Chains A and B, each alone.
Chain A
Amino acid sequence: MIALMLAAWVQGEAFCGFYVAKADTKIYNQASQVILVRDDNQTVITMSNDFKGDVKDFAMVVPVPVVLKEKDIKVVERQVFDKLDAYSAPRLVEYYDNNPCNQYRYEMLAKAAPSAAMGSGSAVMDEERSKKDYGVTIEAKYTVGEYDIIILGAAQSNGLQRWLTDNGYKIPPNAEEVLNPYIRNNLKFFVVKVNLDKLDGGDYQTLRPIQIKFNSPRFGLPIRLGMANANGDQDLIIYAFTRRGRVECTNYRTVKMNSGVKVPEFIQEDFSPFYADAYKKAWRREGQEAIFLEYAWDVSSTNYVKCDPCVSNPPDYKDLEDAGVWWVNGGNRQYPGSADFNGNVFFTRLHVRYNRAHYAQDLAFQVTPNNEQYQVRYVITHPATGSFTCSEGRRYVREVAARREEELQNMNRLTGWSIYRHIDYLDDWNRRNGNSNNRIKRGSVGDTGNNGGIFILGFLVLQGIALFITLRKKG
């Protein structure tokens, strides 16, 4: 399968591009990951949180639109997240120039994506305490995997808050005001605590993701409760599967993360910090309120090219089953290179960084028919080796020198990293070019930034002129 994809890649471009590094979710301090599966009014949400600490303190409260049945709650292995992350993570690919004075001679390099699988647990229920005084109804009570799950209905937020605290759930003190709107919205609360007997002495690393399934026209993710902790910016990576096309946010902007940019060779060693800084800069540029599209691809069995180039294996039937994609059927291996399932599946990866100041509402989504593919990909190009004494060779040296300058500028524009700290990147090729001067043209350096302010100012001026003309006419 990989061979086939590489073949397709080579066909599309003049040279081979190979994946050399990726920036997976491990680079963010606080990152939750969620898999969303949506078709019609059915939704499956799998939540993998970044909880680190004593499992006794683990508590999760998720507003849900309906009382979930036991069969609609599952515990899945964490590796499905690792696999989707590896598959869709922003990537760095490399190209090798041919020496214009030689025949074909290029090397290839590829690194395997690291993957991690995590353990399991098991379960029993602790004592239910009095709840008459709290105005809280226990709608259902289950033990699933290593978790004790209660589904609560509540009439008042202070009752709910007290009930949770009195029953040993660690809830942030200011959660009450956040809980109230959900109660008024007739939502139920999916409340999770670790069952220590079932966990069998494991620590937080053994906590597995929880998956819930329900039928409701609502399609979104509650992020407001998470902000009750008020500890700064939080990252959320969303992996979405639909039958039709991309998932996009309906109450915040969904913007493409920049991609396809040529960056210096040395980024290969620092790709994770590079992407983390590029993300931070893009996020700030968009006023901290945009959601970034990092990957969009048709992963249906009928689409042979599932990545370009592949960072790791695309999701197979088992992954889709684990993720809760209910409409695919397994067992199609008729054509080499095709996936082992039937059915249309479109995959979207979104990256949100939220905080209370800029995110007043929970995230709301819609499934669109947009099936345009997208990936975040940065490109490094290794220059050819050998001597460049022929006339084309001399031109090539000039081109490489200019390209390297452009790569440094791109790096600066994307991340804000200093060009001058990496100025020696130009040395070798400038020397070959017979030019020892490393001064990059002033004015070409720096970030163009967001021109929104200038635009609006210009707009206001034009508006003023229009009003002036109108008023003069009336006068």
Chain B
Amino acid sequence: MSVPTLRQKLEILADAAKYDASCASSGTAKKNSLGGKGVGSTEGMGICHAYAPDGRCISLLKILLTNHCIFDCHYCINRKSSNVARARFTPQEVVDLTLNFYRRNYIEGLFLSSGIVRSANHTMEQLVEVARILREEHDFRGYIHLKTIPEADAEIIHLAGLYADRVSINVELPTDAGLTRLAPDKNAGQIEGAMGRTKARIIEAKDERKRFRHAPRFAPAGQSTQMIVGADDANDTAIIGKASRLYGAFGLRRVYYSAFSPIPDASAVLPLKRPPLLREHRLYQSDWLMRFYGFAPGEVADAAEADGNLPLDIDPKLAWALKFRESFPVDVNRAAKEQLLRVPGLGTTAVARIIAARRHRTLRLDDVAQLTASIAKVRPFICALDWRPTLLTDRADLRRLLAPKQEQLELF
């Protein structure tokens, strides 16, 4: 077989990396290249430099160092029994690609992951080497996200955190049984153990920086993880429960949900039915409800239907409101922030605006309409100076009224 060109390797190894949902480059320490030797800056908010036709943003150069792998996880395109083209970058090639792309303002930085070659430690050392060359030899100050391998030694993972802005370990599946079945070489205890150690290091490093200004930073953008949705039979309630435990136990910045999608040369153990993409969206919405809207995991689970899954036709907040109608209507002129945040159709921005505006005037429905995206959605759940939804809130067909209209099929 001929030696693949750099471009062929890039095609194989970017293709192999695209099933990782994470793309964020936000929330790290501020830094810039003034006074340095290289390029790079991070200013809090990440930048999406392009969008692919799948609607996902391209913020980082997301590639694998290699897609050779000694593991055999069924949902993964790179498992050892999969019949895909294999390639391998040298650390220097990744460094050059990153810098060439960065200088042209194509990317915010690098998201590097890898298949496991030889051993977990060897692979992790290679990943860290890329980050080291970028940071030490090229004084690169852009964003680096390193995927860490839970089976590797704690010292190497520690090094990764010193060079990277964010580290992540994928929990892969919402249940331990699913992990045993679909990722036979992985171990839930080991994954959570590594996440726990990373959390401890992050807290330690933050504490040291409070006392010593030049103490090294450790993964200033924290750690994140990813769960595959729909590859095993865990329902939304189980997934939400798992996510909230992860947020609580390991101080994660983000839990990413990735709807299991058909992969070339799929393993026969995988379910034959792919989950609707909308399910992933509903999970993210419920994630937001927990993180920004003051919903407890149990409350989000209450919004689920009898089978433990969130409804697909309406969003989880609306589903919750329709189930707990006694909490409505909410008076926009008097209600507390927490109550306003529960109104379907009011986001955090709209709530902040309502609270600011009502100090100056008693709000009418028209005023609220100016402050929100869609008054039609909000109307049944609020009272304003000139508005009470007397009958609306009690209507049995409210769900039908508010659910997005089904698209009518064309005559064929």
Partners in one complex: no
Chain B residues with a Cβ under 8 A of chain A: none
